[in-house]
Structure 1
Amino acid sequence: MPRTSPARRNTLNSPRKRRVDVARRDDLLRQVQEIFLSEGFTTITIGELTERLHCSKATLYSVAATKEQLVVLATKQFFGESAERIEADVATRTDPQAKILTYLSGVANAMRRNSTTFYEDMVSFAPTAEIYARNTARAAERVRELIDDGIREGRFRATDGLFASQLVALAIEGVQSGVLLERTGLSAADAFNELATLLLHGLLHKPR
């Protein structure tokens, strides 16, 4: 029986190995994300993470070479996965008003996962603060797109979409930082429901 060369064996085995490695890596990163969202990341060490994840430091360093890189990856994963879930929900709606309500509710649900400690750590660490700012800007832009869609469909009156999007951006930041919640006593979900109501009452056509 002909023998398979080592190179051939590696070629045959590598796809399966890569799939297992990627699955393990994603699972570890998701667990790290949950810990960071719940407790923040400044005070947690790599050693503590490995104990809680029941893995070696070498395994965790295969996900990211440093703790700082791990923090960045986990933060990106959080925002990326949240955006995917929100957009999937928005895609099930056809009415422009329902799309905006669904989008803002989705943002509120995602923000419920952020502890105060995580937020403070995130805005204090330059790489994650940049990720946060970029995603906040994208959220504002997305609401502007939904408003523009409603205007084109005749559901909303022609208004300044840029102003509306900036208003949403400020509201998102205010809720995320806790400033609006502290001043109003609302939960994140209630605050975003109020924002949606405020926007849409100002956008809907009024009967002549």
Structure 2
Amino acid sequence: MAPKGSAGDIRRGAAIRRRSTEERRSLLLDRLEEIYLAEGFSSITIDDLCRRLGCSKTTLYSVADSREQIIQAVTRHFFARATETIEREVAGETDAGRRVVRYLTGVGAAMRRNSIAFYVDMVSYEPTASIYRLNSDAAATRVRGFIEEGVAAGQFRKANAALAGQAIALLIEGVQSGELLERTGLTAGEAFSELGELIVNGLSVRD
């Protein structure tokens, strides 16, 4: 048995403190996410956040070192949690068509959590727009992978799979830029949900 105050005790104590700090930071990110998704972030100051969260600036800056970095951390947190939820929902689905639909419906559900104010702020501020682009690209890559699996399983027509893969990237880019939303009148959440049905119906093998 290691004596009290040994290196092992110190390491365990440090690990417990790290977990506690990480849990507090995660809780703060959850609460910040609720505020930003509902109201956007361009007009909300650090003083506003401290007052509404009932915390000090020191506590708030444990999330990140500046207001701009906090905004980016919250945006990453939103996409990371959404991705985790979506992947969990499609993990047990073996049918390629249903995987595409469930994946993009999940993306749509996540995007529907965004108020118009948050969406406009996110795409207007380059650091968060970059985070959005990165996640949109990852979603397009994921759906293309599902399509390839569907072709290999004989569920999708091979001739149209490459076209569908490119169309997905273009459509997601259109949602991200706002151009598709402006022309269709859809929200980002609605557009992603509809996209899954369009893709699967177009690729399905017909008798």
Matched, 1:171 2:171: yes
Contact 1:112 1:188 in 2 (8 A): yes
Where do 1:57-206 residues align within 5 Å? Answer: 57-175=57-175, 180-181=180-181, 183-186=183-186, 190-206=190-206
In the alignment, which residue of structure 1 is the partner of 2:47?
A: 47
TM-score by length of 1: 0.87
Q: Give the C-alpha shift of residue 109 in structure 1.
A: 0.3
Does the 8 A contact of 1:90 with 1:102 survive in 2? yes
Given that 1:50 and 1:57 are in contact with CA atoms closer than 8 Å, whether structure 2 keeps it comes out as yes
Report runs of 4+ in structure 1 exceeding 6 Å deviation: 6-9
User: What amino acid sits opposite 2:135 in the alignment?
Assistant: N
Distance, in Å, in 1 between the alignment partners of 2:123 and 2:143 is 23
Conserved 8 A contact 1:40-1:121: yes
Greater RCO, 1 or 2 (C-alpha within 8 Å, sep 6+) = 2
Percent identical: 48
Amino acid at match of 1:106: G
Superposed CA deviations along residues 144-190 of structure 1, whole A, max 9, x for unmatched, are: 10000000011111035443233223433444566545544556555
Q: What is the CA-CA distance between 1:45 and the residue it aligns to?
A: 0.5
Partner AA of 1:153 in structure 2: A
Residue 38 of structure 2: aligned partner = 38
TM-score, with normalisation over the residues of structure 2? 0.87
Q: 1:119 touches 1:176 (CA, 8 Å); kept in 2?
A: no
CA distance in 1, matches of 2:177, 2:83: 19
Query: Structure 2: how far apart are the matches of 1:107 and 1:133?
Result: 14
How far apart are the structure 1 equivalents of 2:109 and 2:29? 21
After superposition, give the CA deviation of every residue in 1:42-77 in whole Å (9 maximum; x if it has no partner): 110011101111110011111111011111111111
From the superposition, tell whether residues 187 and 11 of structure 1 become closer, same or farther in structure 2 (CA, over 3 Å). closer
Separation (CA, whole Å) in 1 of partners of 2:188 and 2:61: 35
Amino acid at match of 2:147: I
Note if contact 1:122-1:128 (Cα within 8 Å) is conserved in structure 2: yes
SS in 1 for 2:159: coil
User: Are the counterparts in 1 of residues 136 and 172 from structure 2 also a CA contact under 8 Å?
Assistant: yes
Unaligned runs of 5+ in 2: none
Q: Unmatched 5+ residue regions in structure 1?
A: none
1:159/1:78 CA distance change after superposition, 3 Å: farther
SS in 2 for 1:108: helix
Match of 2:157, SS state, is coil
